[in-house]
Amino acid sequence: MNSYSAIPRRALLALPALIGTAKAQAARPVALATTGMVGDLVRGVGGNALTTETLIGEGVDPHLFRPTRNDIARILRADALFYNGHRLEGRMHEVLDRAAAQGKPSLAVAEAIPRSRLRQHDDYPDAADPHVWMDPMLWAEALPAIAATLGRLPRLPNLEAGVASTRAQLQRLDAYARDVLAPIPAGQRVLVTAHDAFAYFGLRYQFGVESIQGLSTEAEASLAKIEAMVRLIVDRRIPAIFTESSVPDRAVRALIQGVAARGHQVRLGGTLFSDSMGRPGTYRGTYEGMMDHNITTISRALGGSAPERGLNGRL
């Protein structure tokens, strides 16, 4: 009996196309990004001429991420490497430096932005606040450096179109944020979160930002800090506070209880994406979807005008 007799003829006819697609994918250079936010920026510039992969998955805190042997192998195998920098990937410095020392095209994306545009990192004088992606237009400033780094790879077309389309997407996201956050009353323009990841967001959209933990999530919040935050929420009559998808919510829950004991009810405004995006393959698993979720959640919790399903009606 012919061994192919059990295979539908339609599948056999499709094999040449499938093989051709597999060969084309195999021929593409592989760019490995540490986080989804970095990966989406690289993917926007490189488009279909590039295979862009992400190392650190959904809900994983990059401050605490320790690469496995398989992760290190992926880093060393990739044709180009993109990471955030400014100590976001706090436990990966050695392997990132090793990859760059091999001559591999590598870029610390946030470090490509002029230091004068970034916030100081209180714990590390050699680094800035790494959470640059929280301001879409500041994040866009890294696009030319990404294009220049990808330009060192063979077989890539002109990348100007990718830079332009990605910049336009970020401008549209920024315009949406300005529109739906503007109606929030001045007294309610305070963003209380688990750790200090939203300062660039606050600067861009004129919010005060208060957090229980600092720029890194490695240190536990002290009782004194929680007590100070309770007083702030009660004194300012802040209506809502937020948890984060990649940070345990214990301290935020303690805040809610402490505020209630003082006679003020503060509600949980929702969970924000801070150091990681949503589930891969979903809208929230893209940079645009992550930021749309954050902007829309903040607006609706604090008195803005965001539609329930966000910028693109996909939330």
In the prediction, which pLDDT does 7 show? Answer: 38
191: left (phi over 0), alpha (psi -120 to 50) or beta: beta
Q: 190 — phi, psi (to 5°)? A: -130, 125
What would the pLDDT profile of 34-82 be if each residue is shown by its tens digit?
999 999 999 999 999 999 999 999 888 898 899 999 999 999 999 999 9
Question: What band does 225 get if pLDDT is binned at 50, 70 and 90?
Answer: confident
| 8 Å CB contact between 265 and 276 | no
Average of pLDDT values for 168-196?
A: 95
Place of tokens 């890194």: 216
In the prediction, which pLDDT does 123 show? Answer: 75
Residue 184, Cβ neighbours under 10 Å: how many?
20
CA gap 243, 272 in Å, rounded: 6
In the prediction, which pLDDT does 259 show? Answer: 92
Average of pLDDT values for 196-201?
A: 94
What would the pLDDT profile of 136-164 be if each residue is shown by its tens digit?
999 999 999 999 999 999 888 889 999 99
Give Rg (Cα) of the chain: 22
Q: Is the dihedral of CA 291, 297, 298, 303 positive or negative?
A: positive
Residue 99, Cβ neighbours under 10 Å: how many?
22
Instruction: Decide if pLDDT at 215 tops 80.
Output: no
What would the pLDDT profile of 226-257 be if each residue is shown by its tens digit?
888 899 999 999 999 999 987 778 888 888 99
CA gap 128, 39 in Å, rounded: 20
Question: What band does 106 get if pLDDT is binned at 50, 70 and 90?
Answer: very high
CA atoms within 13 A on the CB side of 226: 15
CA gap 179, 99 in Å, rounded: 42
In the prediction, which pLDDT does 285 show? Answer: 97
Contacts 24+ apart (CB under 8 A), 141-144: 141/112, 141/113, 141/114, 141/117, 142/41, 142/109, 142/110, 142/112, 142/113, 143/41, 143/45, 143/167
Q: What percent of the chain has pLDDT over 70?
A: 89
CA gap 269, 144 in Å, rounded: 36
The DSSP symbol for 128 reads B
Question: What band does 213 get if pLDDT is binned at 50, 70 and 90?
Answer: confident
Question: What band does 107 get if pLDDT is binned at 50, 70 and 90?
Answer: very high
CA gap 18, 27 in Å, rounded: 14
